[in-house]
Amino acid sequence: MGVAVVKKASVRDVRRRNRALILRHVWLNSPTSRSEVGADTGLSAATVTNVMNELIAEGAVREGGFLESDGGRRRAIVSVAEDAALVVGADVGETQIAVKVFDLAFRPLASRVYPIKGRRIEVPEARAAIKAQVVSMLDELKTGSRRVLGLGLGVPGIVSSGRPLVHAEVVGWHGADFSGFSDELEIPFYIDNGAKSTTQAEMWYGAARGVEHGVMVLVGEGAGAGIITDGRLYRGYSSSAGEWGHTKISLDGPHCRCGRTGCVETFVGASAVLDQWRGPDETWLGRETEGVEAILSAWRDGDPAAHRAIDGVVSHLGLALSNLVNLYNPQEIIVGGWFGDRLAAELLPSLQAAVRQFALDQPGSEVVLVRSQLGPDAAVLGAATLPISQFIESGAGAERLNAPA
């Protein structure tokens, strides 16, 4: 029987870990103070001082001013150097590619939208569109790519954990290759499943902040989820965890875009609900958001067909969410996505009741459903967290801080 060898952490490993702990606190709690950093991270005052001085010299953090005092010693303010660099978030959605430039405090500075026709887009077109939008926005901001810490891209489907291959049947991508995109952009490039990156944004700045065990669900034309366990995003063996929209709730249900039948999204997606209301036609094709407002208006006016369709989506979504409750025992489910947000705004108590009806008694009674706090910008903001997360964890892109325009 072999003997397990435990590798002792090197001084470099410890320094990197301390840097990440401190920088993460500053990023998520800015403005803050050195004493608050120490209390949150459990690091000694000397360690906080040494690392903080390095971060200030690096240009990631700045110090200035004082926090309000309740009678004790005044605490110097420490905050993210928001103008030290830029980050870009891009999201491949169901009908468009949205791209935004943010400063390091995630304040939006410029934005562009590229429409997707027919719900399909070839990878070369997507790459070209993103690059053109980035160039256009940087020109608008009168700056260059050297000041961009990184570009994060959120995509539907599964992203390989090694080479950046995307398996997204819903947009027609089968092993779509994004290799070389960083060189093409002249910007560090990071890619992830859009539901996961959106969940990370919700964990940093939204309804999932401080949640140890939760699920973020996104409902639009399709459906996806991000799983939070022990306060971290759960990815699974090959980073495909969270493909909840393609779990099955019927053996002989409607045909799905993935090529199978009975998937969750075929019951709770926006077009599926509109079809339940008015029958399968193309009335709302490309105008699904208008269709959702129309069915909700008809539902409020007492239209029987609208009531049947809305009751159906509440029941099926409650059933699908109850499966997540039984599997993961979350303390909180955050409902988002453009259609999910509208359902949550109108029907959150009904969804909560449906979940409790179908879930096991104990976990069903414990879980709380809440509405996403980040709204329509959640996906793009989530994508922009990807380069920031890499910078926090490993210092990737640090040489770009305060680079000349």
Give pLDDT, residue 286. Answer: 80
Give pLDDT, residue 8. Answer: 60
Give pLDDT, residue 157. Answer: 84
Closest CA to 55 of 395, 396, 387, 405: 395
- The alpha carbon of residue 108 and the mean position of all alpha carbons in its chain are separated, in whole angstroms, by 16
Q: Write the DSSP assignment of 326-385 as a string of letters.
A: HHH--SEEEEESHHHHHHHHHHHHHHHHHHHHHS-HHHHHH-EEEE-SSGGGHHHHHHHH
Q: How many whole angstroms separate alpha carbon 209 and alpha carbon 218?
A: 17
- The alpha carbon of residue 235 and the mean position of all alpha carbons in its chain are separated, in whole angstroms, by 13
- Whether the CB-CB separation of 8 and 56 falls below 8 Å is answered with no
Residues with Cβ within 8 Å of 59's Cβ and at least 6 positions away in sequence, in order, are 81, 84, 401, 402
Residues with Cβ within 8 Å of 68's Cβ and at least 6 positions away in sequence, in order, are none
- Residue type (1 letter), 161: S
Residues with Cβ within 8 Å of 385's Cβ and at least 6 positions away in sequence, in order, are 89, 152, 197, 200, 201, 204
Cα–Cα–Cα angle for 165, 270, 215, rounded to 5 degrees: 60
**Strands 108-115 and 148-155, sheet pairing:** unpaired
Give pLDDT, residue 268. Answer: 97
Q: How many whole angstroms separate alpha carbon 17 and alpha carbon 395?
A: 11
Q: How many whole angstroms separate alpha carbon 146 and alpha carbon 148?
A: 6
Q: Across the 405 residues of the chain, what is the mean pLDDT of every consecutive 10-residue run? A: 56 91 94 93 94 94 77 79 97 91 96 87 93 97 96 90 77 86 95 94 94 96 94 89 93 87 95 92 85 96 97 97 97 96 97 97 97 90 96 93 86
Output the pTM of the full model.
Answer: 0.89
- Whether the CB-CB separation of 238 and 221 falls below 8 Å is answered with no
Give pLDDT, residue 1. Answer: 47
